[in-house]
Structure 1
Amino acid sequence: MPGPMTTRIENKLREALNPSFLEIIDDSAKHAGHAAMKGLPKGETHFRVTAVSSAFEGKRPVQRHQFVYQILDAELKEGLHALSLTTNTPEEYKA
């Protein structure tokens, strides 16, 4: 069962992007002992996100990532530490 941060990320991305495909993987356990994690809330902090959406059409990869960061601004301020993003348009995803 997904945790609360995973659920928030999914809900926000589904609402903002209306994706044809969305995958969110919590990689937090792989980073639990890292020095950079000291002082951060325990739990959901590192995610891999793959999103396919027509909202990315006409945007360069950096613009797509900035758009996702903007959508998840509150989560980034509340303990979300790292996002690995794969952002594609439906045409790119088919190829």
Structure 2
Amino acid sequence: MPLVVFLNNRIDYQGKKEIIKEYGFKETEREVKEMCDYANYLERKARNEGINRGKKRERKEKNIEHVRNVMNELNCSYQRATNILKLSENEKKSIEKYFQS
């Protein structure tokens, strides 16, 4: 339970200190502060990973839309459309399955 308290980002520093005292631990400022900092680090890391995944998904969806538009407007193949848009090989591979018949 004390570890859950440390990692809970909804409890502030003072609240964590009080709860740790209730469990009978000898409270040391430095250790409580380090665990609070670590919990905040984990939260920021998870948030950034989620944001990055969202950006990758959005880019993939936009690439699919742009390739479709180029193919329709210019009446060209998938390969030609991706070349016109100058997509990287990784981008081409990530959306290729959406254009296979």
TM-score (norm 1): 0.29
Of Structure 1 and Structure 2, which has the larger fraction of its residues in helix? 2
Q: Higher relative contact order at CA 8 Å, sep ≥6: structure 1 or structure 2?
A: 1
TM-score (norm 2): 0.28
Of Structure 1 and Structure 2, which has the larger fraction of its residues in strand? 1
